[in-house]
Structure 1
Amino acid sequence: MLLGFEHIGMTSRNLDRTIAFYCDLLDLKLALRLKTDRGEQAFLDTGSGMLEVGCPVAQVSRSRDVPPHEAGMRHLTFAYDDVDAMVERLQAAGVEILEGPRPAVYTEVIKRVAFVRDPDGIIVELVERADGR
């Protein structure tokens, strides 16, 4: 029996900067941070799943967008009660805003949506859930 979504793994160029973005700005909680023989690892809790963030000793290049014709992860999505307020907060912090708040396309599940980039270039989608979700 499925219990729920657990975590997604990602790589960071700078763990302090990544934790600051996801925890200080997006309100995730740092659940675990430790050093390993390959670098550092952190788990950031959303309350309904986690981000497992690895920061290797090796040099890491910036994330690239996955083209529409290529399989892969396109973005991470987090739900908020007020997308407009969240985008204002991120904009004030100097975060790159790709697309400001607007009505969603799939209104059966999402009411409003916006897109930003994290410090490593990963696209992060911010949504307000549709009523009843």
Structure 2
Amino acid sequence: MKEFQLQGINHLALVCQDMTRTIDFYCNTLGLQLIKTIQLPDGGQHFFFDIGNGDALAFFWFPQAPERAPGIASVNPAAMQTGDIRTAHGSMNHVAFKVSAEKLNEYREQLAAKGVQTTPVLHHADVPSGYVPEADETTFLSSFYFFDPDGILLEFAATVRELGDPERDLNFSL
């Protein structure tokens, strides 16, 4: 028996600059439901969106929060176009939402129709470059990336094959 019986992620908490803009994007662009808001003692807010399976994506809005630092604590949008998604140690790199492979292209088109810029669909694969142009037997995930209004990198990701095979999926050295 495992020491901790984890059941998934309850919520991931991020920080936004503008609560109204964030709610508009996640409700009206991504179609999520706002399920909880909490007034903070300093005048800020903590609020939660339902992302399915009993999981939530949460945000804090702090009236006196420091400005964001793209390329340090979040992905630099300009560098993202060249595939550079590096961020600083201890930062959050991106949030990946699980979607079905059959809906991936449709969802990308829907976001484009709403004015959201996305990457092409990428097929993450067990090859030296990390990607293949079309999904094949080496592909484990197909996805595309886009930013929310605060520059948080989001991903719609479709599992192509389950992970966990030690010979195929665990390739690292310490």
Determine if the TM-score, normalized by the shorter chain, exceeds 0.5: yes
Match of 2:156 in 1: 126
Of the three residues 78, 92, 97, the one matched with 1:78 is: 97
Aligned residues: 130
Of the three residues 40, 46, 55, the one matched with 2:51 is: 46
**Structure 2 alignment gaps of length 5 or more:** 76-85, 127-138, 164-174
- The aligned amino acid for 1:120 is D
For normalisation by structure 1, the TM-score amounts to 0.81
Runs (4 or more) in structure 1 with deviation over 4 Å come to none
Aligned counterparts of 1:23 and 1:54: Cα–Cα separation in 2: 16
Aligned 8 A contact 1:63 1:120 in 2: no
Q: Structure 1 pair 68/129, CA: closer, same or farther in 2 (3 Å)?
A: same
Aligned 8 A contact 1:102 1:114 in 2: yes
Aligned 8 A contact 1:101 1:114 in 2: yes
Of the three residues 7, 13, 16, the one matched with 2:17 is: 13
Q: Deviations over 1:39-66 (max 9, x none)?
A: 1110112113211201111255245235
For normalisation by structure 2, the TM-score amounts to 0.64
Any idea what SS the aligned residue of 1:100 has? coil
Any idea what SS the aligned residue of 1:46 has? strand
Q: Deviations over 1:106-128 (max 9, x none)?
A: 623x2x21010000001101112
- Per the TM alignment, residue 33 of structure 1 is displaced from its structure 2 partner at its CA by 1.7
* Pair member with larger Rg: 2
Any idea what SS the aligned residue of 1:104 has? strand
Match of 2:125 in 1: 105
Q: Which has the higher contact order (CA 8 A, sep 6+)?
A: 1
Aligned counterparts of 1:116 and 1:47: Cα–Cα separation in 2: 20
- Per the TM alignment, residue 79 of structure 1 is displaced from its structure 2 partner at its CA by 1.6
Match of 1:3 in 2: 7
More strand by share: 1
- Per the TM alignment, residue 19 of structure 1 is displaced from its structure 2 partner at its CA by 1.7
**Structure 1 alignment gaps of length 5 or more:** none
- Per the TM alignment, residue 27 of structure 1 is displaced from its structure 2 partner at its CA by 3.0
Q: What percentage of residue pairs aligned between the two structures are identical? A: 26
- The aligned amino acid for 1:14 is D
